[in-house]
Amino acid sequence: MTGIPGSTTAPAAGPTIESYLTELASRLRGPRRFRAELVLEVRAGLEEATAALQEAKWPAGSAERQAIADFGSAGRLAADFQPSIASRAARRVGLIGVLMPILMVGWATSWAASPAGGGEYDFHYLLSDLLYLIGAALTVICVIGLYRLTDRRALGDRVLIRCRRLARLHLVVVTIFIAVAGLLTALNFDQVTQVMGHGLPLVVGLASLILMPMLWVASIGATLSAPGKQSG
C-alpha cells in the first residue's frame, strides 16, 4: 500500500497515460458505456495523481510514470474492475428478463382468445405470435448478454460459471423445443402443435424466472468475492 510519500523515484521507463488507458480498455469486458466510464475515471485519477506529483516538484515525465505505476498493471486493474462491470451488466440483462413473465402472460391471454385457442379474433392470434417471438428473442439476448459480460479469465467466480452453464442449457432446451414445434407444425400435427404451443412459452417463461434471479445473485456474489475485495 505504498503511495507518493514512500515513492521517491519513478520507474525509468513505462507506458504513457494514453497507452496505459488503451491497454486497460482492451482488457475490460462488458457493455461499451460501462467500460468507457471506467477508463474516463482512471484517466481523471491519473491526471490528478500526475498533477499532485508535479506540485511536489517531480519532473513531468517521472510524475506520469509514477502515477501509472501506482495504479498497477493494466491487467490487474482490469481484473479488479471486472466484477463491478459484470454486476451492473448482469442487472441490466436481468431487467430485460423481467419482461419475460409479462410477455408470457400476454401470450397466454391472447392465445386463449385466438381462433386456435377457442376465441374469435384474428388480432389475438397475431398478437400471441408476436409476443411469442419477442419472448424467444429476449431469451437469446439475455443468454448472449450473460456470455459477453463475463470473461472466465477475468472473473473465475464459480457461481457465475454455473449460471453460464444454466443459461447455455436454457438456450439449448428452448432451441430444441422451437425446432420440434416447427417440425410438427410443418407435418401438420395440429393437436401436438397446440400442446407445444402451450408448452414453449411455459418452458421459456419458467426457465427465465429461474435464470434471471440467479443472474442477479451471481452478479452480487461475484462482486463481493472479487479478488481485489478489501485488499489494499
Partner 1 sequence: MDADDLRGRLDPMILAVLERAPAHGYAVIEAVRARTGGEVALTTGSVYPALRRLEVAGYVTGHWSTEGGRRRRTYQLTATGRRQLVTERSRWLVFTELVGRVLERPAT
Residue ranges binding partner 1 (CB under 8 A): 1-6, 37-38, 40-42, 44-49, 52, 67, 70-72, 76-77, 80-81, 83-84, 87-88, 220, 223-224, 226, 228-232
CA distance 120 to 123: 9
Distance in angstroms between the alpha carbons of the first and the last residue of the chain: 6
1 or 13: CB nearest partner 1: 1
87 or 110: CB nearest partner 1: 87
- At 57, list the grid cell: 516538484
Q: Smallest distance from the beta carbon of 3 to partner 1, in angstroms? A: 3
42 or 200: CB nearest partner 1: 42
Q: Smallest distance from the beta carbon of 174 to partner 1, in angstroms? A: 30
72 or 199: CB nearest partner 1: 72
Q: Smallest distance from the beta carbon of 226 to partner 1, in angstroms? A: 6
Q: Smallest distance from the beta carbon of 49 to partner 1, in angstroms? A: 6
- What's the burial of 108, exposed, middle or buried (CB within 10 Å: 0-12/13-18/19+)? middle
52 or 140: CB nearest partner 1: 52
Q: Smallest distance from the beta carbon of 44 to partner 1, in angstroms? A: 5
